[in-house]
Amino acid sequence: MTETTRRAVMTGAGGAGLAAVLAACGGAQETAAQNPAGDAPAAGAGVGAGAGAGKAVLAKTGDIPVGGGKIFAEEKVVITQPAAGEFRAFSASCTHQGCTVAAVSTTINCPCHGAKFNIADGSVVNQPSSGTGGRPIDPLPKKNIRLDGESIMLP
């Protein structure tokens, strides 16, 4: 009888452990279904948090200077504001050799070979310095951003 009781206890404990594992997996699937891109939620996001719920806020509109911009190296994007209230986004990878652009003034500037790009449309303003491959480079590819009030987010 002792052995049967031990089996019952072990079976019960194993069943409880399996139920816990399945519940954890079910929660992860539900989260993935609600957020298939795996984006980090915005600070304060949750039920009823508005159109930006579930998306990470990259910046506030006030963080991007008019006539300049800001680089988000981790996201590989540069956001500019060529004129008040006009926001643009481009790849932060230089089309010459893939270096991450390092500064935004009146142009988007690559530190590797001196390439410069227009903050309004990403077009090439200054080719890389001579002796770095000699071929003309392409404009910075455009990226999509989404404005939600004062928040700038990647879609």
Tally of domains in the chain? 2
Q: Which residue has the higher pLDDT, 79 or 38?
A: 79
Report which DSSP code applies to 106: S
Tokens of 112: 């590797």
pLDDT-derived band of residue 56, with 50, 70 and 90 as boundaries?
confident
Count of residues in the chain: 155
Q: Which residue has the higher pLDDT, 85 or 6?
A: 85
Q: What is the pLDDT of residues 72-88, one digit of tens each?
A: 999 999 999 999 999 99
Q: Which long-range contacts (CB under 8 A, 24 or more apart) does 113-118 make?
A: 117/90
In this predicted structure, what is the pLDDT of residue 109?
96
CA distance 152 to 133: 36
Q: What is the pLDDT of residues 26-37, one digit of tens each?
A: 333 222 222 223
In this predicted structure, what is the pLDDT of residue 131?
61
1 and 74 inside one domain? no
Q: What is the pLDDT of residues 101-136, one digit of tens each?
A: 999 999 999 999 889 999 999 999 998 876 656 566
Confirm whether 127 is domain-assigned. Answer: yes
- CATH number, residue 108: 2.102.10.10
In this predicted structure, what is the pLDDT of residue 97?
87
In this predicted structure, what is the pLDDT of residue 134?
55
Residue 64: how many CB atoms within 10 A of its CB?
19
95 and 24 inside one domain? no
77 and 140 inside one domain? yes
pLDDT of 11 above 90: no
Mean model confidence pLDDT for the chain: 73
CA distance 62 to 65: 7
61 and 131 inside one domain? yes
Tokens of 151: 């928040």
Range of the domain at 78: 57-153
Q: What is the pLDDT of residues 99-109, one digit of tens each?
A: 999 999 999 99
Cβ contact 82:72 at 8 Å? no
3-state secondary structure of 53: coil
Report which DSSP code applies to 63: G
Cβ contact 102:93 at 8 Å? no
21 and 84 inside one domain? no
